[in-house]
Amino acid sequence: MPGCCCLLGFPSPPAALRILRRRMASRAFQLRLNPLTGDSEWLVVEEEEDEDHHPTPPPKQLLATTSYLDMLNDSARNRAYRRAIEAAVTDPSSRVLDIGAGTGLLSMMAARALAAVRGEARGGSVSACESYLPMGKLMRRVLRANGMENRVKVFHKRSDELKVGDDLDSPADILVSEILDSELLGEGLIPTLQQAYDMLLAKNPKIVPYRATTYGQLIESTFLWKLHDLHNNEANAADGVWLTPGEMERIVSVKPQQHAMQCDALEDEIRLNPSKFLNLTFGNGQIVIVRPISRYEQHEMDMWVLQLDSAGSIFYSTAPRWARQSSSEGLQRDMKDWCDHWKQCVWFMQGKGIPATEDQVLSLRARHNQTSISYQLNINDEACDRSSKGDHLTLLPERIALYGDKDWRSALINTIKNALTVKSSPTCVVADDSLFLALLISSMSPTSKVIAMYPGLRDKGAAYLRSVADANNFSIDQIQVIGKRASSITADDLKHKKVNLLVGEPFYLGSEGMLPWQNLRFWNVRTLLDSMLSEDAFIMPCKGILKLCAMSLPDLWRSRSSLKDVEGFDHSVVNETLGACGDLPGDQQDNRYWKQGVQLFSKPVEVNPGKSVIHVEASFDPSTED
């Protein structure tokens, strides 16, 4: 097997919801991507109250696809934060600030701990900062349900908009936060904490969590190799279509970023021998300490552990189960259930990997900026990665794996070959951002005219096609890249010719995480282009088939189950809004789309394989993502 040189990381917690928004007083404007058109749309979220002056629930579709529910079902995480907060709140006059408060769970923990040490005395305060208005509205409902609305002061602001003397009576003594994602830094942990140190906190504050340590190692994995090495995978396919021809093996590669993945399934492929990469200490004002790595074996990798208290007795690990069960120093922590909000991360080294022997010394350097950690592998002081040219394209690992899949390529090649046998000199529209189909049709039919819509790739896609045209035996004059969405295409773009072939993978750059909406967007494009198609136009894909299968997914069910008591606080009020399953009325069960499109029912249904008959009704509303 060709070597896959990649870095597997077990960094941090979850990215709840990353959106662009504008705020005006008690109104928020949220930008979202329409999954059927690819267009950006502004949604207005109002700070409304009912007749009893209680906040109305936020729109369900804004929060049901986030990871908040999974986080709240993570009992090990909840327990660790409760213990750390109780250990930090020892002074009855403590002023606690919670940044990124979410449902207010950590704020309520702090208020309860403060009441325990304060007794009947007065003093101390808890302030909760939550900039995302829909979550802030939900937090107010949770606080009211637990009788905490007068014990936690809520601010619908970014933390850098808070001002001491205006919003806060005085600087905070204790900061609690969970602005962490699967890469650790992706939600702005460093700049947020630094601004809080400078503007919002008293001298020598207590910080929860206190420290985070990332661990890592280089690894070799057959599965990860398929997500990374397109050049060798398509060489094995040997079908004559080259996305990465000859010396241009890196012209299409994996995006150089941390890729969050569930790595429990890699246990049989990886030998665990991690080393520390970064030590991030928050509790004494020092945000980052870099630790050098000097020695590696053939299989190496990367991961992190959260230390929540300054005493070093409360930990939370995001390593996979088999790593936590090992005897590796620093990783054998409190065992926890499977969860999906804080995954492990994989960093793919550029190139096709390197051979390594047991005693060989490799140099792997970790770098970070304000929001991310990156890695560079050096061999004999020579860096493995090289600067990229303008024609270089970076894609997500799943698309790289699909482009290198022999069976997938063969299916498309045979389908297009059959279509071209009855179409002479066709006008073909590639209706998405497909690299493979544009190359395939151009090389198989020298007399065809290929119009690549490339609504996401645009000029980058055109530069790429020019670079690989000769290696795929076609003239670049055959292809016209228009860089438009279907709603903007006119007959002039097609030179008033009817389209004989309309094809797509479907693949739309920037919408990869919207499965199964990629396929539905192609259906929408085909509808918009209907008047430009010939009567006998060949369309691929021509239909979509929805297949259902009854499955038992206990881990996924558990992570999405409805909430009741969370460390002593009632969270049942969030269930409908967050899309929980289990013990809910039938009209409140939610639809959660994953790679295969999973719907979790409100209650499990027992089936007898081969004997049970289940009646299923499906409905479709193209105006929503739910």
**At CB < 8 A and 24+ separation, what contacts does 487-496 make?**
487/37, 487/39, 487/528, 489/453, 489/528, 489/529, 489/532, 491/532, 493/451, 494/427, 494/429, 494/451, 494/532
Burial string for 568-594 (b: 16+ CB within 10 Å, else e) reads: ebebbbbbbbbbbbbebeeeebbebbe
Q: Which amino acid appears at position 520 of this protein?
A: L
Nearest CA among 347, 332, 339, 333 for reference residue 216:
347
Q: How far apart are CA 577 and CA 59, in angstroms?
A: 7
- The pair of three-digit structure tokens given for residue 598, joined into one six-digit string: 């999973």
Cβ atoms of 529 and 504 within 8 Å: the answer is: no
* Torsional class of 165: left (φ above 0), alpha (ψ -120 to 50), beta (otherwise): left
The residues that bridge with 154 in the sheet, in sequence order, are 128
- The pair of three-digit structure tokens given for residue 62, joined into one six-digit string: 């804004």
Q: Point out the residues that are catalytic.
A: 178, 187
H helix and E strand count, the chain: 16, 30
What does the H/E/C string look like for 142-203? Answer: HHHHCCCCCCCEEECCCHHHCCECCCECCCEEEEEECCCCCCCCCCCHHHHHHHHHHHCEEE
Whole-Å CA distances, 242 to 230, 363, 387, 424, 547:
10, 33, 22, 24, 33
Q: Which amino acid appears at position 581 of this protein?
A: C
Q: 3-class DSSP state for residue 278?
A: strand
Residue linked to tokens 């930008």: 31
Helix (H) or strand (E) holding 114: helix 105-118
CA angle 138, 143, 145 (to 5 degrees): 95
- The pair of three-digit structure tokens given for residue 554, joined into one six-digit string: 């206990």
- Quickly count: other Cβ atoms within 10 Å of residue 542's Cβ: 9
